[in-house]
Amino acid sequence: MPSTTGFTLWLTGMHGTGKSTIAAYIAARLRQVGRQVETLDEGEIGQDLWQGLGDSKEERSTIVRRVGYVAQLLARNNVAVLVPCVSPYKSVREENRRIIGRYVEVYVDCPTETLIERDSTGKYKKALSGEIPNFIGITEPYEPPTSPEVTIHSDTESVEDGAAKIFQALLDLGYMTSEELKIITGKKMKANPQPKKARRVEPKADKPGKGTKSRPATRAARVAKPTSAKKGAKRK
């Protein structure tokens, strides 16, 4: 009997990285084991969910929130929801993570130069020439995830390789069973135990009436202390 745990697999990345292709592959494999699956592809549902909205940051954020709301409704009713969506802003993706709960973020990464070279739609070239304003990755920034559950480098990894990473993450998180994945992949997969949260140890209070020596800052305090300069993030 197939597992009935609903979840949302959110695939984020710039235009043309292969999010929809990977989502279609995963959806077909999930249906092999009797899962209820829905794909919310921004390229297909746009006319229904955000007709009339434009390309400003606020409007894009509204679009991602609407998709997240639909995904949350489906996931809580035991549906495996796949969302290939550029969703360029980190803060809005994190909002969806909190709202949805059973949320797996997949970052589909690819160098911009490669995306321009293999672009069959011509959108990148039009954006570079100024024909398409507010284009993510060219005239508007894309904010990559800080700690996604899965990262796929679609310029060097095949769809199958990327899917294997996703299935492993779903197994590790308890959203799929090893029996289901044996049917899908043809091999027995083992879950990797999730790291336990570190136990917090409170510092001992100094005894009254006695002189105390200054203590070095704890590791947590050193990490939390702001630094005067940070290295700039690599441009994607």
Task: Tell me the catalytic residues.
Answer: 87
- Give the angle subtended at the CA of 79 by the CAs of 7 and 165, to the nearest 5°: 45
Here the tokens at position 109 are 């990464």
Q: Give the count of beta carbons closer than 10 Å to the beta carbon of residue 21.
A: 15
